[in-house]
Structure 1
Amino acid sequence: MPITPTVEERAGCGWPAKAAARVSRWVLRPLVARLPWTPFTLRFAPLLDLGAALMVPPRGTRVTKVKGLGCAAEWVRGRGVPAGSGKAVLYFHGGGFVACGLRTHRRMLARISQAAGMPVLSVAYRMQPRVPIATSIADCVDAYRWLLDKGYDADDIVVGGDSAGGYLAFMAPLYALRDGLPRPAGIVALSPFTDLDIDVKIAHANAALDPFIPAPRMWDMVRTCFPDAEYTDPWLSPVHADLGGLPPTLIQAGSIEVIRADAELMAERLGAADVPCTLQIWEGQMHVFQIFADVSREGLAAIKEIGAFARRAAGASARRQAA
């Protein structure tokens, strides 16, 4: 029987978040709107992750490189988080399927690790246009399988991601279930991209409000990363997939971002599939505001919510066994 998703309106937007949104509207949005989306320019997109080497993680963070996967990956442990907790967050970074990586997200993931009390396996899946989207999904499924092979119980793994990584946080468990693997304990999606139909986002009221993403430019991303795709293909578009086997899910989105359309639709589809889902809409916040937690108290609060959800999800199996 379908269930109604829990929608939580998180009020309050401090002046640092408002200032960041204004700067983004004046600087980043015009840049994104004008930047050519061509095979030549996309060759330089990975440089963004190299530049992020200056983003030093919080004091006490421990980072360990991982070998044995078809792509780069690393363990990120926040201050005080033990290496052998037996529980883990498996995380896929955002970046429009073409940019970002381990360095851009290391600082935020260290905070998530500390909030959750468990290490985060950060996966730098191979990206477009060098490989097809199927390869990116396969890298994420392989990382999940690697955790299982290392002795982690599926009930102790929470899958997460932001933006394009939020897309993969849904697609990897769906493909894992298709392959006969057990479902993870939970899913955390930050501003997830879930619908290949960009016209829906262009028509959303937030298309005029989003200080970072010009909605029409997302068609370039879809045409590059999903060439010749049917936008309703359930194995390419999460909102059209059979979601019934997915675990409890937390979705966070900013109230002024255009991807809010995807977050709301995904929560609705999860509820229709009888999957418990909490959708948090954070007032005045932009796309993946959690990564700006250094200047936004709301980003820190959202990360605490992510940590609390991960603790509950990964502890549910122990509570069931105790009962």
Structure 2
Amino acid sequence: MPDFFPGASLRSQVLAHSLRMTVKPLLGVWAQWPSPLWPAGVIDHAARIVPPLRGVAHRSVRLENCAAELIDAGNLGTETVVLYLHGGGFLTCGLNTHRRLVSRISASAGAAVLSVGYRMMPKHPIRDAIADGVDGYRWLLGQGFETGKIVIAGDSAGGYLTFMTALTLVDLDLPRPAGLVALSPLTDMDPAGKLAHPGAGQCPVFPRSVLTALTGLADQDAHRDATGKPCASPVDGILEGLPPVLIQVGSTEMLYPDAELMAERLAAAGVPITLEVWDRQVHVFQAAADLIPEANHAIAQIGNFIRTTTTARTHRSHLPVETVAL
């Protein structure tokens, strides 16, 4: 079990309380009528008014089936690049909602970032989002980036896509990236383990009902593969071919069991894995860097991981889980 250390700042506690009183009830209402036809796209559209970070440029990129953008925090001349897949439950958010977070990762890592606006439910099955992640990786290769200088990263549902994109690259016999970063990732499409976890009710963002509703939508026939099987879970994948992984998760969030289980499975497969457990931090707290100090610290950790994995010439292949409680 991880060794937790107290350290949630007053500002992070206020944020958690605010989300518990506002966002969590709203998500509970959605879970009562979990239709994918809700106008989820309005969230990313509204985020267009959020100002970009000072000194950060972004330009549009068109992939085969979706939009993307290249984020440059003054690092576009470097050899390192991050392929980023945003969260949002496969239903919402996008390039606009995540631009400030992605920009901070770019600045911290000293790397350009290709943020992918992948196709989402209900118009497209989750496998299309995975295909868009692979297309983004191929685009980077086509731009001359070496695989040893590419890191794939994502948050929440984007964490799921991070692992599934990497596993698909293995299946396609494409060279693996230098590393993977997953923030509060969804890694198990079966909600049972998360719902049974003693801390399930402590999450300040998600009520239990949201988890059941979302996995129900994802498991609909339209999102099954050609064999009729439900969406695959990264925790059940063949993980031996994956590069080093960094996972960050809050200690009281709904997806903590997924992060813990994924770390255990990766370690069992001989994949170098660092699991960081952040005391009482909310889901994808890194996105709140304008508000809480823990987010900036976590982003610094991400930057360090990216720099380390892209400069290392060799990787040790048999390491146990490293749990860092912060």
Note whether the superposition's TM-score is higher than 0.5.
yes
How far apart, CA to CA, are the structure 2 residues paired with 1:90 and 1:129?
24
Aligned residues: 309
Instruction: Measure how far apart 1:177 and its partner are.
Output: 1.2
Instruction: Give a deviation string over 1:155-205, Cα, whole Å, max 9, x none.
Output: 000000000000001000100111110000000000000001111111112
Structure 2 match to 1:14: 9
Instruction: Measure how far apart 1:316 and its partner are.
Output: 1.2
Alignment counterpart, residue 283 of structure 2, candidates 287, 291, 304? 287
Amino acid aligned to 2:90: F
How far apart, CA to CA, are the structure 2 residues paired with 1:240 and 1:135?
20
Structure 1 match to 2:319: none
Structure 1 match to 2:239: 243
Moved more, 247-256 or 211-220: 211-220
Q: 1:245 to 1:49 in 2, by over 3 A?
A: same
Structure 1 match to 2:171: 178
How far apart, CA to CA, are the structure 2 residues paired with 1:269 and 1:292?
29
Query: Secondary structure at the residue paired with 1:104?
Result: coil
How far apart, CA to CA, are the structure 1 residues paired with 2:6 and 2:111?
28
Instruction: Give a deviation string over 1:256-275, Cα, whole Å, max 9, x none.
Output: 10100100000000001000
Alignment counterpart, residue 313 of structure 1, candidates 287, 306, 309? 309
Structure 2 match to 1:33: 28
Instruction: Measure how far apart 1:82 and its partner are.
Output: 2.8
How far apart, CA to CA, are the structure 2 residues paired with 1:8 and 1:186?
25
Structure 2 match to 1:3: none
Instruction: Measure how far apart 1:217 and its partner are.
Output: 1.8
Query: Secondary structure at the residue paired with 1:129?
Result: coil
Query: Is the 8 Å Cα contact of residues 56 and 72 (structure 2) preserved in structure 1?
Result: yes
Structure 2 match to 1:268: 264
Amino acid aligned to 1:116: A
Instruction: Give a deviation string over 1:266-298, Cα, whole Å, max 9, x none.
Output: 000000100010000000101000001111100
Query: Secondary structure at the residue paired with 2:82?
Result: strand
How far apart, CA to CA, are the structure 1 residues paired with 2:248 and 2:50?
23
Query: Is the 8 Å Cα contact of residues 189 and 231 (structure 2) preserved in structure 1?
Result: no
Query: Is the 8 Å Cα contact of residues 157 and 185 (structure 2) preserved in structure 1?
Result: yes
Q: 1:152 to 1:261 in 2, by over 3 A?
A: same
How far apart, CA to CA, are the structure 2 residues paired with 1:54 and 1:17?
24
Query: Is the 8 Å Cα contact of residues 8 and 280 (structure 1) preserved in structure 2?
Result: no
Structure 1: 5+ residue runs without aligned partners?
Answer: 1-5
Instruction: Measure how far apart 1:234 and its partner are.
Output: 9.7
Query: Is the 8 Å Cα contact of residues 243 and 271 (structure 2) preserved in structure 1?
Result: yes
Q: 1:129 to 1:234 in 2, by over 3 A?
A: closer
Alignment counterpart, residue 297 of structure 2, candidates 294, 301, 311? 301
Q: How does 1:213-224 map to 2 (within 5 A)?
A: 213-224=206-217
Amino acid aligned to 1:37: P
Cα RMSD of the aligned pairs, angstroms, is 1.9
Moved more, 164-173 or 202-211: 202-211
Q: Is residue 2:248 matched to residue 1:252? A: yes
Q: Is residue 2:195 matched to residue 1:202? A: yes
Amino acid aligned to 2:261: L
How far apart, CA to CA, are the structure 2 residues paired with 1:130 and 1:279?
34
Instruction: Give a deviation string over 1:125-168, Cα, whole Å, max 9, x none.
Output: 00011111111110111111111122111100000000000000
Q: 1:92 to 1:68 in 2, by over 3 A?
A: closer
Structure 2 match to 1:58: 53
Q: TM-score, normalised by structure 2?
A: 0.91
Structure 1 match to 2:157: 164
Q: 1:195 to 1:212 in 2, by over 3 A?
A: same
Structure 2: 5+ residue runs without aligned partners?
Answer: 317-326
Instruction: Measure how far apart 1:77 and its partner are.
Output: 1.6
Amino acid aligned to 1:280: E
Amino acid aligned to 1:263: A
Query: Secondary structure at the residue paired with 1:187?
Result: strand
Instruction: Measure how far apart 1:69 and its partner are.
Output: 3.1
Instruction: Give a deviation string over 1:285-314, Cα, whole Å, max 9, x none.
Output: 010000011111000000000000000011
Amino acid aligned to 1:130: K
Instruction: Measure how far apart 1:40 and its partner are.
Output: 2.8
Instruction: Measure how far apart 1:223 and its partner are.
Output: 1.8
Identity of aligned residues (%): 45
Structure 2 match to 1:45: 40
Instruction: Measure how far apart 1:85 and its partner are.
Output: 1.0
Instruction: Measure how far apart 1:215 and its partner are.
Output: 2.3
How far apart, CA to CA, are the structure 1 residues paired with 2:248 and 2:4?
10
Structure 2 match to 1:103: 96
Amino acid aligned to 2:273: C
